[in-house]
Amino acid sequence: MLPKIFFLNLMFILAGFGPFVQSEAQEYDLKAAYIFNITKFIYWDSTIPGNEFIIGVIDPSPIYEPLEKIAKTKTVMDKKIIIKQFTKLEEIDNCTILFIPKNTSFSLKEIVDKAKSKKILTISEHEGYGKKGSAINFVTIEEKLKFEVNTKTLESIGLKASAQFLKLAVIIE
Which helix (H) or strand (E) element contains residue 149? strand 144-150
Neighbours of 54 (CB within 10 A): 22
- The β-bridge partners of 122 are 98
Minimum distance of other proteins from residue 4's CB (angstroms): 33
Nearest by Cα to 54 from 62, 44, 153: 44
Minimum distance of other proteins from residue 142's CB (angstroms): 9
Minimum distance of other proteins from residue 22's CB (angstroms): 12
Q: How far is CA 91 from the centre of its chain?
A: 19
Q: Does residue number 144 form part of the binding site for other proteins (CB under 8 A)?
A: yes
Closer residue to other proteins (CB): 47 or 164? 164
Minimum distance of other proteins from residue 42's CB (angstroms): 12
Which of 48, 145, 159, 170 lies at the binding interface for other proteins (CB under 8 A)? 145
Closer residue to other proteins (CB): 78 or 90? 78
Q: Does residue number 165 form part of the binding site for other proteins (CB under 8 A)?
A: yes
Which of 23, 46, 105, 164 lies at the binding interface for other proteins (CB under 8 A)? 164
Nearest by Cα to 112 from 132, 138, 90: 132
What is the rounded distance in angstroms from the CA atom of residue 56 to the CA atom of residue 151? 21
Residues of this chain, 29-68, that bind other proteins according to CB under 8 A: 30, 34, 37, 40-41
CA distances from 12 to 8, 9, 156 (A): 6, 5, 49
Judged by CB under 8 A, the number of residues near other proteins is: 14
Q: Are 167 and 161 in contact (CB under 8 A)?
A: no
Which of 14, 18, 20, 167 lies at the binding interface for other proteins (CB under 8 A)? 167
What is the contact surface with other proteins in residues (CB under 8 A)?
30, 34, 37, 40-41, 144-147, 162, 164-165, 167-168
